[in-house]
Amino acid sequence: MKSTGASRREFLRSAGVLIVGFSMAGENGKLAAQNTISPAGLVDATQVDSWITIGADEMITIYSGKVEFGQGFSTVQTQLVAEELSVPFNRVKVIFGDTGLTPDQGVTSGSQSTVTEFKPGGLRQAVDTARDALFQLASQQLNVPTSELTVKDGVFSVNGQDPAGHVSYGQLLQGQRFNLTLNSKTVPKDPSQYTVLGTSVQRIDLAAKATGQFQYVQHVRLPGMLQGKVVRPPAIGATVVSVDKGSVASLPGSVQVVVKKDFVGVVADTEWHAIQAAKALVVTWSSGATLPDQSNLYAWMQQQRSLDSFTVDSGDTDQTLVQAVRKVTAQYLHPFQMHGALASSCAVADVRGGSGSSAMARIWSATQGVYPQRDSVALLLGIPPANVRVTFVEGSGCYGCNGNDMVSFDAALLSQAVGQPVRVQYSRKDEMAAGESYGPAYVVNLTAGVDRSGQITVWTREAWTLTKGDRPNATTPGNIISGALAGFPTPPLVPTAATPPKTFSNNVNAAANYVTGVVAANPPGGTGTVASQQVLTHTVASPFFTAPLRSPDRLQNTFANESFMDEVAAAMAADPVQYRLRHLSDPRLIAVLNAAAKAANWDTRPSPKPGNARTGVVTGRGVSCVLYEGNNGYSAMVAEVSVDQATGVITVTRIVTSQDSGPVSNPDGLRNQMEGGALQGMSRALHEEVKWNADSSAITSIDWKTYPVFSFGDPLPVIETVVLNPLTVPQMGAGECTITIAAAAIGNAVFDATSARLRRIPFTPANVLAALAARP
Amino acid sequence: MAAIKINVNGSSYSTDVEPDTPLLYVLQNDLKLNGPKFGCGLAQCGACTVLLDGKPIRSCVTPMSMADGHEVTTIDGLGTVDNPHPIQTAFITEQAMHCGFCISGPMLYGKAFIDKTPNATEADITKALNGLLCRCYAHTRMIQALVRYAKESA
């Protein structure tokens, strides 16, 4: 066991070995000393000093739990602070995601970062409390009431007085702490007065990224660091029978083999040596688990015992369906999909002293949540959470909870075993076949009843999905692939009957836009008008680990809901936009739908498009919309497609998408997110499906050839974005809206062009040809 | 083992790694360059792209023996934050990234093509990027950045 050579505090605090991100070089340690850290290693989020330090050099450092994945949030945080404190943008530095340095803000996910930081208890309130305190200090120093003070560029002056009567933030504080609790009564700047927020400030990280100077987690380099590789079971559920350590004994690189139950890995001096050792290591595995046949997945899901829940149930749908003059029914199928991050995941761990109360660990990880990972890794390693420090270092875009946590666990296990810092870089196959957790498949059955006037009077939805594992938490590491391999049991799904819901929470968009969301005696929570409504979800045990994938469940559900609304509109021979508007009640959803239709120069008429031939290449347009998570961002999309009915190939030619996420922090940044989301949604709709072989119990989507995605060279649609910017409402999420509605908009456009309804993702040529053949 | 000599971004390096070691690992781990990145290790995504004697190649599958005696240029070698190359300026101006992990591919394939193709059209440029991946899907802006670079260097 290696001696630590440093005190616990020094080891956990030390930042000097690593420059964490280009923008936070050097001053990390000095500024960190101002933070309040409890003996349990927790940063007290109620204290202003936990969020902000202002140096004598006037530099402002922000500590945030919300991290950067390429979505531009570090830039928005910088804008927020510059705005509220009236300081130049370049005087603000943001340090994010570091247990022991930044407040615990859970995970950066669910399009919640802007919402969280702008609402009470978040960064804005901390900064505003600091601002108010600075006004008080300046008032005392300059001997005038605060009402006579103005502040510009971090310097106070007295209204109308000579320039000598000035004092700066740095001069007032002189490096001292604020010693203040966040004040819930602070008043943030009125968005109508914004000069930094609401403007298209360039991203703070892009110059370093464009010039190759940005340090990603792949570039964490520690003294004495070894390179590790995992050796995963070749089949899902296979267990170790034996490991022949002698098979790598003669290889170069001082190879060490680490086995912990079914977790197997190698460590060597260089990455190339580690790769060769991992390839050469002879491991005998048991056969794998029994998997459902891929071709039978959707039927299999409906046969399993399930955990059931209602989103809404008005209790009268059986009767109202009988009364309907017309019923429409359809089933929608969505496969397992991958995050498929461009980077195969990577992490570095430095575990000293084995396990127990005197052991310590540091982890550098591109995780979405440093605290949840810390708590889970502590259990994995048998080290107290306070002795584990997890530092976020940006990886590639992850689009949710991908392999970043798993690889961090792997690095921690290997480092603990060998007593030296270990970097683990997954191979592409490690990532895709046994590293990342997938977004789950869905079966969604929908039924609508319509009255004599063509109005929908009843909407029912019954769906099946799957789960296994999910995010790291403080309960067990067995819910993460690496923890399960290392012997921690994965919590089983407990079949449970549904009970009537007490509140309407549409956080996974299980309920369509068109229902009222009336639950018990509560006021409507939905965005629609259909009062007779039942939305039921059955969750079954997944054969594969699953975790949130960008727009988790919301995308699958919205594909079904928004495609089905199009089916009902077509059955009523109604224009798809007009028919939606007839069933919507929320003015902001109506506004984004109208905005997209207008910008697209929407051709108002029923689908399918009159006059299209049933052979050859035809064109069409489709629409979809959503209030993301039922309360977190409005968006609509019009897609235009051409479809080659001989080959089944869909070409999306134009996407027009609108969004209302409340006051916009950075218009160009929002447009960038909308564009990327729309194209990623298109990729998931057209191409993406995890595949496996039940005979070998193995995942067969192991690289970009076997998990095809939209890539450069494929026809690129024209993308137009429409940004609504209401200033008098709270901020909402922005990063997952357009991806949520892409599949339905495209599928609806294909119906418009061909009269063929696409009810199964992905819209591959084979699936399109099958739908074309099924036309009446 | 004979030493392998490569010139990287204008400086000469000599190394005695095994000749089958992929160039990427030497650039990233030994020379501590952050520009070329490991995405797939299979020449399927382009994140590891570097220029070898001016031509874009995938450094994740290029053994050191093939780079021996050649000139390697990475995006680190084009310019800096304070003094970026015009193609880097174009990407920054167009805000043509989300996470930026893929950037070596579109930037270097685009640069190599545009530099030898005066008056390259948008369609030509798009074709030159054939097969590269950007999973954040900043495609539209990357094409715009390359069109800007083509215009400015015409």
Task: Dump pLDDT digits (tens) for A277-302.
Answer: 999 999 999 999 999 999 999 999 99
CB proximity under 8 Å: B 9-68 to A: 17-18, 20-22, 25, 28-29, 32-42, 44-45, 47
A277 vs A16, higher pLDDT: A277
- pLDDT reported for residue B1: 58
- pLDDT reported for residue A368: 95
* pLDDT > 60? residue A17: no
Q: How confident is the model at residue A3 (pLDDT cuts 50, 70, 90)?
A: very low
Residue A298: both structure tokens together: 């959707």
Residue A597: both structure tokens together: 């239709």
Q: Name the pairing type of β-strands A263-268 and A256-260.
A: antiparallel
Query: Region A582-590: what's the mean pLDDT?
Result: 98
- pLDDT reported for residue A23: 32
Residues in chain B within 8 Å Cβ distance of A713: 126-127, 129-132
CB A289 within 8 A of CB A543: yes
A261 to each of A242, A265, A274, how far by Cα in Å? Answer: 10, 11, 20
CA distance A282 to A268: 16
Q: Give the pTM.
A: 0.96
Say whether A716 and B44 touch across the interface (CB within 8 A).
no
Residues in chain A within 8 Å Cβ distance of B130: 712-713
Task: Dump pLDDT digits (tens) for A512-534.
Answer: 999 999 998 788 999 999 999 99
CB A325 within 8 A of CB A450: yes
Query: Region A691-715: what's the mean pLDDT?
Result: 97
A30 vs A365, higher pLDDT: A365
Could you please report the per-residue DSSP string of A457-501?
A: EEEEEEEEEEEEE-S--SS-GGGSHHHHHTTPPPPPP--B-----
Q: How many residues does chain B have?
A: 154
The interface pTM score, or ipTM, of the predicted complex is: 0.98
Beta bridge partners of A300: none
* pLDDT > 50? residue A31: no
CB A607 within 8 A of CB A768: no
At how many degrees (to 10) do helices A73-85 and A123-142 cross?
Answer: 30
A743 to each of A110, A176, A638, how far by Cα in Å? Answer: 19, 54, 11
Beta bridge partners of A326: A450
> Positive or negative, the Cα torsion across A60, A61, A65, A68?
positive
CA distance B35 to B56: 14
CB A23 within 8 A of CB A94: yes
- pLDDT reported for residue A16: 34
Give all domains of chain B, ordered by start, each with its CATH number: 2-77 (3.10.20.30), 86-153 (1.10.150.120)
Query: Region A16-37: what's the mean pLDDT?
Result: 38
CA distance B18 to A346: 24
* Tokens 């949840």 sit on residue: A372
Task: Dump pLDDT digits (tens) for A123-166.
Answer: 999 999 999 999 999 999 999 999 999 999 999 999 867 667 89
CA distance A343 to A688: 17
Min Cα distance A212 → chain B (Å) is 4
* Residue environment code for A98-121, b if the CB has 16+ CB neighbours within 10 A, otherwise e: bbbbbbbbbbbbbbbbbbbbbeee
Q: Work out the mean pLDDT of chain A and round it to a whole number.
A: 93
Phi, psi of A720 (to 5 degrees): -120, 135
Query: Region A384-404: what's the mean pLDDT?
Result: 96
Closest by alpha carbon to A435, among A464, A406, A399?
A406
Residues in chain A within 8 Å Cβ distance of B129: 712-713
Which of A208, A344, A716 is the closest to B40 by Cβ? Answer: A344
Q: How confident is the model at residue A40 (pLDDT cuts 50, 70, 90)?
A: low
- Closest chain B residue to A219, measured at CA: B34
Q: How confident is the model at residue A6 (pLDDT cuts 50, 70, 90)?
A: low
CB proximity under 8 Å: B 122-141 to A: 126-127, 129-141
Say whether A675 and B25 touch across the interface (CB within 8 A).
no
* pLDDT > 90? residue A15: no
Q: Is B111 on the interface with A (CB under 8 A)?
A: no
- pLDDT reported for residue B128: 97
Say whether B101 and A342 touch across the interface (CB within 8 A).
yes
Please give the DSSP secondary-structure letter assigned to residue B131: T
Task: Dump pLDDT digits (tens) for B135-151.
Answer: 999 999 999 999 999 99
- Closest chain B residue to A673, measured at CA: B98
Maximum pairwise Cα distance, chain B: 48
Which of B74, B101, B132 is the closest to A712 by Cβ? Answer: B132
Q: Is B120 on the interface with A (CB under 8 A)?
A: no
Task: Dump pLDDT digits (tens) for A66-123.
Answer: 888 999 999 999 999 999 999 999 999 999 899 878 888 888 888 888 888 899 999 9
- pLDDT reported for residue A100: 78
Which of A203, A673, A713 is the closest to B127 by Cβ? Answer: A713
- pLDDT reported for residue A2: 40
* pLDDT > 90? residue B2: no
Task: Dump pLDDT digits (tens) for A531-560.
Answer: 999 999 999 999 999 999 999 999 999 999
Q: How confident is the model at residue A30 (pLDDT cuts 50, 70, 90)?
A: very low
Min Cα distance A399 → chain B (Å) is 8
